[in-house]
Chain A
Amino acid sequence: GIDCQEGSRMCCRQEFFVDFREIGWHDWIIQPEGYAMNFCIGQCPLHVAGMPGIAASFHTAVLNLLKANTAAGTAGGGSCCVPTARRPLSLLYYDRDSNIVKTDIPDMVVEACGCS
């Protein structure tokens, strides 16, 4: 996947760090001190639908579909900039009975973005 730079317009991953102290959650979340939520933003014109990042073969398949469809009229539907790789977030926090809970929340951090 691609990380957004200043002025990026194509589909990319925008880093976004959530500091738990800044949102006043540092009293009940023991570890970590924050987390990189990140999100996907940018355009996905049809010629980059299935853009590689991690799906090169899918990209080829979509291009072939487009050729076939273009030959028979315009291909419907759009392609969106979506997470293509995510990883879990390990949290250590107090629940409302002041129990200490350690858990891994799946799919919490967006690692890469690509075009659907």
Chain B
Amino acid sequence: PKAGGQCPACGGPTLELESQRELLLHLAKRSILDKLHLSQRPTLNRPVSRAALRTALQRLHGVPQGALPEDNREQECEIISFAETGLSTINQTRLDFRFSSDRTAGDREVQQASLMFFVQLPSNTTWTLKVRVLVLGPHNTNLTLATQYLLEVDASGWHQLLLGPEAQAAYSQGHLTLELVPEGQVAQSSVSLGGTAHRPFVAARVRVGGKHRIHRR
């Protein structure tokens, strides 16, 4: 309806079209941010290359359709966190994953988490890799070993390591550190880990908002 007319729904004065559009766009933004439990839109401080994004998405397992939890307050999402390569030496690579959000750590529950990493190996080589899960100590000061996995890698390409409850708990708290320590005789110089389009990442399936429901029950 034209400006100055009467609103057909509530009988109040109508907005002229441009203001109506502004109002609707504002409502749309608010609605998306509220449903994502964000107080404002994220500012991206560590842009991800399109190549790394494309590679990671090829590996993201879709949330099975219709898998919406029965209670709208619970929402399930898939998260891919690219590693920030922490302090690394020739003998070990440290990967830091951060996952903070406007929500408190208490109301997100990691259902499943896997480390995905890419390795370039010389042919006919088997490479033994120890993956150590480090978590912040009780006073959030230093990192302590929570658990570790031993992995035999015998081919170049992407490899997946399913992470256990210690890593899931650390990720739920917002900060997970993994240390990749090669074992055995293979010369480290002949092995390359990752690369721009092959950044290691953690793929996690997280349920948010569920804790409140369990807590309420």
Measured CB to CB, the residues of A under 8 A from B are 8-9, 16, 18, 22-23, 25, 27-28, 30, 35, 37, 39, 41-43, 80-81, 88, 91-108
Contact = CB atoms under 8 A, between A and B. Distances in A.
A52 B80 CA distance: 44
Contact of A104 (B41, B42, B45, B75): B75
A8 B9 CA distance: 11
Contacts of A41: 8-9
Nearest to B98: A97
**Lowest 7 CB-CB distances: which A-B pairs, in order?**
A103-B77, A96-B42, A100-B80, A98-B46, A102-B78, A18-B28, A105-B35
Contact of A100 (B57, B72, B101): B57
A97 B48 CA distance: 10
A107 B75 CA distance: 12
Contacts of B28: 16, 18, 23, 35, 37
B94 to A, nearest CB: 17
Given A18-B25, A30-B53, A41-B9, A101 B76 contact: no
Given A39-B24, A104-B75, A97 B46 contact: yes
16 contacts: A9-B8, A16-B24, A18-B28, A23-B29, A28-B44, A35-B28, A37-B31, A43-B9, A88-B68, A91-B36, A93-B36, A98-B82, A99-B81, A99-B82, A103-B63, A105-B35
B44 A101 contact: no
Contacts of A103: 36, 63, 75-78
Interface in B50-90: 53, 56-57, 60, 62-63, 67-68, 72, 75-82
A80 B29 CA distance: 24
B79 A104 contact: no
Given A18-B28, A101-B79, A105-B35, A43 B44 contact: no
Contacts of B62: 102
Contact of B99 (A42, A43, A81, A97): A97
Given A42-B9, A108-B35, A99 B79 contact: yes
A84 to B, nearest CB: 15
Contacts of B9: 41-43, 80-81
Interface string B82-117: 100000000000000011110000000000000000
Given A94-B42, A96-B43, A105 B76 contact: no
A38 to B, nearest CB: 10
Contact of A105 (B32, B57, B81): B32
A17 B77 CA distance: 24
A104 B76 contact: yes
